[in-house]
A = this chain, B = another copy of it.
């Protein structure tokens, strides 16, 4: 194979004819494949079935002296808070454990800033004319949707393998209308990069003009290695405190991809001062979260070490899937010089950059051939990828055989879209 850039028009035309024929052949298979969302596969769900039966007797339902079957304890049960404090490397006083979804906690945090303001806000954000937000790209579409639903203007900032472009971020936070920033510091969605120590320090040391700047630290993949051993990560709360920003950050995590997506336990960690204010505001919203599920999780996961052992089992399922995708991309696309992609060692995604101006077309072609991809542009604010180049690949859900078929389709579609563009068809 030869890079498209080195091909003559004749060669490109021949390559296009071949790609078009391959595409038709794949369409004819009537595939129904899905690489669109970061959902664990059935094999992973099966790993945790014992979670459902750890609580059997009435006596089982106590966390120490606390009867988890009744109202109250809005910060969550002590043992579950301790488990999360151990995993995140924060103090137990800084952690609350909640319901089934960290997204819900993130939404609620921004919603409360909007309706009531944060600890250091002059007024609720809904009373402000303009709110801006720093969005490292490519990023997580659901983060961006939260900004969008509250009318927050999103400012994209480029990412590289070390995390967001900190020169740009440091410049942006000089604007007092810039009220916050999304971060997925470990195995970032979708590139899978880990923010470097230097980047994390610079984030913690930011001097935002807004006194109520809100660093949303979504540590969704904090223990989610699929290749290699657990990679320790810095405690952002301590770092922010060290740099004089104790109340700037709120950290989030969950067991959605440790136990069950949608039936796990989410947590939030922040300074005690922040926590006090947030819990006061939350006291109007809930009497408490599902403590039985928290207890179920503690009994099943036991401690950090045991949880990491479970993550190794997940890795055993996920690693072959990721490598099937990476191998497919390497084999089909690398020689053609029309695409680049990330090589993550954890998390749930691969970030693929196809030839500029062909991402939407590639995803549309995939759909035609029965392969559902995340919509092109989704990893960008307002769904707009200025280069129309990025495609998020989620390899976790399909069985490996389906995944191989899906990657084959994806590569043919990326080729076809590139050739259409090069030939100006």
Contact = CB atoms under 8 A, between A and B. Distances in A.
A149 B281 contact: yes
A49 interface: yes
Nearest to A108: B285
Interface stretch (A85-93, A191-199, A289-297, A316-324): A289-297
Interface in A76-116: 99-101, 103-104, 107-108, 111, 114-116
A57 B53 CA distance: 9
A196 to B, nearest CB: 30
A300 to B, nearest CB: 13
Contacts of A55: 52-53
B107 A285 contact: yes
A60 B288 CA distance: 28
Contacts of A58: 45-46, 49
A45 B69 contact: yes
A202 interface: no
A293 B51 CA distance: 12
B292 A104 contact: no
A145 B284 contact: yes
Interface string A319-347: 00000000000000000000000000000
Contacts of A364: none
Nearest to A260: B69
A52 B299 CA distance: 13
B115 A287 contact: no
Contacts of A46: 58
A290 B126 CA distance: 30
A146 interface: yes
A404 interface: no
A267 interface: no
A150 interface: yes
A163 B60 CA distance: 42
Contacts of A70: 39-40, 45, 260-262
A111 B104 CA distance: 14
A382 interface: no
Interface in A273-311: 281, 283-293
Contacts of A124: 126
A356 B250 CA distance: 48
A37 interface: yes
Nearest to A263: B292
A176 interface: no
Nearest to A264: B290
A111 B283 CA distance: 14
B100 A289 contact: yes
A260 B260 CA distance: 21
Given A103-B287, A263-B293, 9 more contacts: A45-B67, A45-B69, A45-B70, A72-B262, A100-B290, A107-B284, A111-B111, A115-B150, A263-B292
28 contacts: A42-B67, A49-B56, A49-B57, A52-B56, A52-B60, A52-B61, A53-B53, A69-B260, A69-B263, A70-B262, A71-B256, A71-B262, A99-B290, A101-B287, A104-B285, A104-B286, A111-B111, A111-B285, A115-B126, A115-B150, A116-B149, A124-B126, A260-B292, A262-B287, A262-B291, A263-B293, A290-B293, A293-B293
